Structure 1
Amino acid sequence: MQVVRKSVFIGLFTLLLSSAQHLAAQTFATATVASLPVSSRRAYYKAAFEQQAATLYGKLRLGATGLPLTVFREGLVGYYNVRRASGRASASPVLTLIDFSRPSKQKRLWVIDMQKERVLFHTLVAHGKASGADVPVAFSNKEGSEMSSLGFYRTAATTYTGKHGLSLRLQGLDAGFNTNAESRAVVMHGAEYVCEDFVKAHGRLGRSQGCPALPVAETTAIVKAIKGGSVLYLHGPDKVPYRSKWLNVDAAVEAFASLR
């Protein structure tokens, strides 16, 4: 019994010592960085940001699921910028990525819990019928275009039940690209044409009137996971023009540094 207690005591002591050493190292690193010139601090946090992007990308095995590192990094840049600009510390720490450079027959939506560092969902998502057949090639912010809209969005705080069932409104944050999302009723909702059976029958998914429509079976879980002011990034093909203030890396690094 004494041997067991001694073993447990040693284990607890080792754990506490390790935690203390880690905390001391963090404190020392923070103090050291704070004493550096401004330009050096920026360089340090820029390197730390890039390291986090690469490390998290590898940890979540996003490459194996078809998400390019460049798209993930862009989403991460916007995630930090949007959250800082919104000033909502309580906003959902979830980042949703949609890569419309991929065909509709492939899973091209990822929902990532940034706090827990977990992929919550990886599934199919439809694009607007006027954007293209299998791979969307055209995007618009105009009323009646029936096209998808590129860029960053903030999800609504609450859900509602519409003609497609449980749905979630999206606030477009990129002027000229998606800011008419609300007036166009571009929302997250489920649709019967977003499923593997439709792909098998038609070689692609069905298409929406501009909404990023989801598989019916997963809609409720996804909508509940991303509501509450979370960030959504809809990426398009490289040849499609897109620019955004949310892709300012320096501002994102500042936001990232403020959380360290």
Structure 2
Amino acid sequence: MKQAIYLIILIFCSLPHYASASTIQGPNKQHIQQQKNPDVLIQNVYEQAGLKGKLDYDVFKNGYNEYYNTKGRKKQLLTIIDYSKPSTEKRFFVIDLKNNLLLFHTYVTHGVNSGGVVAKHFSNIVNSRQTSLGTFLTDTTYFGGNGYSLRLNGLTKGKNDNARRRYIVVHGAPYATEDFIRRHGYLGRSWGCPALPKHLSKEIIDTIKHGSVIYARA
């Protein structure tokens, strides 16, 4: 009898053990949840980050899916630029997907040839001075004509893959402020770059640089 019990224990211990989703922590747990029920996970992030009333759920869902499918990302951060909103509204969102937090919510410009208060025209063409849509991966920083700036790699073929050739970068601008809106009735416009309020630009750039995802839509 003792030999039979010993044999059963030996067989059980030799079998491979598989952890359930509830016992897995960190990124692997999130990965399993994403595969099993992505809508539940996305809804949970949306609610915990307090995005309701600020960002349309379907816009966030599309942005999250772009983030999830982007190769080479190094940070659990997602920036969404919702160009369907007028420039007089805060339409730049930086979301921490690890802790489900909205880190930044501020103004962002569109290109001078994309439209007035609302961006209606978008381009991937060099010298078009229009905004590009699609998915970007942030890269390195530098100091240029617009001060501290962040290089972007456009990942959406035909829509923004000329970003480096067009010098489309994130930078601060004196015309990307509430004061400018009060004086002119609209936010200032760039040559296609997503320009931010200067008092926030460095902090935002330092947060999202080096491999985070930006999703721009209209």
What is the TM-score normalised by the length of structure 2? 0.84
Q: 1:191 aligns with which of 140, 155, 173?
A: 173
Post-superposition CA distance 1:39-69 (Å, at most 9, x none): xxxxx8555211011111111121222x100
Aligned-pair CA distance for 1:28: 3.8
Name the counterpart of 1:137.
120
Post-superposition CA distance 1:179-199 (Å, at most 9, x none): 111010000000000000110
Q: How does 1:146-157 map to 2 (within 5 A)?
A: 146-156=129-139
Instruction: Pick the structure with more strand per residue.
Output: 2
Pairing 1:58–2:40 present: no
Pairing 1:168–2:127 present: no
Change (3 A) 1:92 1:45: closer
Change (3 A) 1:178 1:27: same
Aligned-pair CA distance for 1:223: 0.2
Q: Provide the rounded CA distance (Å) in 2 between the counterparts of 1:129 and 1:113.
A: 30
Name the counterpart of 1:14.
none
Structure 1 alignment gaps of length 5 or more: 1-25, 32-43, 237-260
Structure 2 alignment gaps of length 5 or more: 1-17, 24-32
Q: Secondary structure at the match of 2:19?
A: helix
Q: Provide the rounded CA distance (Å) in 2 between the counterparts of 1:227 and 1:45.
A: 25
Q: 2:197 aligns with which of 215, 224, 248?
A: 215
Contact 1:159–1:168 under 8 Å retained in 2: yes
Q: Provide the rounded CA distance (Å) in 2 between the counterparts of 1:72 and 1:187.
A: 22
Post-superposition CA distance 1:91-138 (Å, at most 9, x none): 121110000000000000000111122111000000000000011001
Identity rate, percent: 44
Q: Which amino acid aligns with 1:112?
A: I
Q: How does 1:56-135 map to 2 (within 5 A)?
A: 56-65=45-54, 67-82=55-70, 85-86=71-72, 91-135=74-118
Would you identify which runs of 4 or more consecutive aligned residues in structure 1 move more than 2 Å? 26-31, 44-47
Q: Which amino acid aligns with 1:27?
A: A
Pairing 1:27–2:19 present: yes
Q: Which amino acid aligns with 1:186?
A: I
Name the counterpart of 1:49.
38
Contact 1:94–1:112 under 8 Å retained in 2: yes
